[in-house]
Amino acid sequence: MESKYIDLLLFLVKGIGPCKSKKLIMQYGYDFLANCTFDEFMTITNNKKIAREYINLRSVNLLKNKYKDLLKGGSKILTYSSKKYPKKLKEIDDPPMLLFYRGNEELLNSDKIQNKTVAIVGTRNPSYEGEKTAYNISKLLSENGYTIISGFAYGIDTFAHKAAIDGLGDTIAVLGCGLDICYPSENKKIYKIIREENLFISEYPDETKPYSYNFPKRNRIISALSESVIVIEAGIKSGTIITVNHALNQGKDVYAVPGSIYSMRSKGTNFLIKEGAIPIVSIDDMIEYFDIKINQRSNIDLTDLQERIFCYIKSNPKIHISNLPIDLNISSGIITKEILELQLIGKIDKLSGNRYISK
């Protein structure tokens, strides 16, 4: 029996799960799993119901038909034993036995996905500043050859994907439902673009509805495929923190953009920084951490708020960032995000000691 059908069998049997499936494959091998008796499988699982279901489903013809049925919805499948299965995903303790995908399969195993990938995640209910920060950071990374990975959820995820597309880079969206379902429905436009030019992946077959309990599970895939994770606005108890915990367990670097101490949206990011996450507070941080180059865009139109901050810095060269919230009566969280944007578009420079000058 081909190994891909054993992967499918482990996927189908209730009560085994990804973690146990990998352990069975690593410890016993595909030959054993293809030929073991009921008693042998019962011995290693210690569960008669699971062993009985496993043996009853272990028919080549039955599994071939099951595999064909899973393809009918339009999504393609990579099994755990496939040579094209993402190497990064194989390294975690609980990789999905089946990975459903639509789009550019090459993104999963190219040199780029191995070396230059960043997950950008955050709240589904961001502030305007959070949206802008997610967009600007994602676009900057995308323009510098990074593949942006996120969960396609409303909010920070959406702006990360949009920015990657606008930056003419690659993006991978990891869904918590079947790939034939655009969830949230408001994302239909970028759903079509990602499906045609980039990549959707999911551990759930087509027609699987976006049940709430699917999303925490899919977060381990987001972090696994990424070299690092950037968090932009998150509650202290949220799916984003689950992604961070997966990332830390997988040995990934975690970055966070700080925000106002008065904002519930910033409690998660500020907590992460307190616990050791690497803060991103300026464009210099992005240059240092991600080895990027800045495209000068000095002619871009500034918002009224940006113009106000820029004019103040221009009139007060080498001003310390701590003076801005007080002198301009603007919260420190908003100042941090707008300062980052002004650096991104090449309007100001950061000096040593958190001081800034205009260009």
Q: What is the pLDDT of residues 17-31, one digit of tens each?
A: 999 999 999 999 999
Domain spans, the chain: 1-72, 107-290, 304-358
Closest CA to 255 of 164, 139, 89, 121: 121
Res 112: pLDDT: 56
φ, ψ dihedrals at 72, nearest 5°? -65, -30
Tokens describing residue 113: 């996905």
Q: Residue 346: left if φ>0, alpha if ψ -120 to 50, beta else—which one?
A: left
Tokens describing residue 284: 């210099």
The length of the chain in residues reads 359
Report the range of poorest mean pLDDT among 118-132, 133-147, 162-176, 331-345.
Answer: 331-345
pTM of this structure? 0.83
Q: Which residues, in sequence order, are CB contacts of 148 under 8 Å at separation 6+?
A: 118, 119, 120, 138, 141, 142, 160, 161, 163, 164, 169, 170, 171, 172
Task: List, for residues 25-62, the tens digit of each pLDDT value.
Answer: 999 999 999 999 999 999 999 999 999 999 999 999 99
**Confidence class for position 111, pLDDT limits 50, 70, 90:** low
**Confidence class for position 238, pLDDT limits 50, 70, 90:** confident
Q: Which residues, in sequence order, are CB contacts of 94 under 8 Å at separation 6+?
A: 17, 18, 19, 22, 220
Higher pLDDT: 253 or 359? It is 253
pLDDT score of 297 more than 80: no
pLDDT score of 180 more than 90: yes
Res 298: pLDDT: 43
pLDDT score of 196 more than 60: yes
CATH architecture, range 304-358: Orthogonal Bundle (1.10)
Closest CA to 7 of 28, 33, 27: 33
What's the CATH number of domain 107-290, 3.20.20.150, 3.40.50.450, 3.10.150.10, 1.10.3720.10?
Answer: 3.40.50.450
What's the CATH number of domain 1-72, 1.25.40, 1.20.1300, 1.10.150, 1.10.3470?
Answer: 1.10.150
Res 108: pLDDT: 82
Report percent pLDDT > 90 for the chain: 77
**Rg of the chain taking only CA atoms, in angstroms:** 23
φ, ψ dihedrals at 94, nearest 5°? -130, 60
Question: Which single residue is written with the structure tokens 């240092």?
Answer: 288
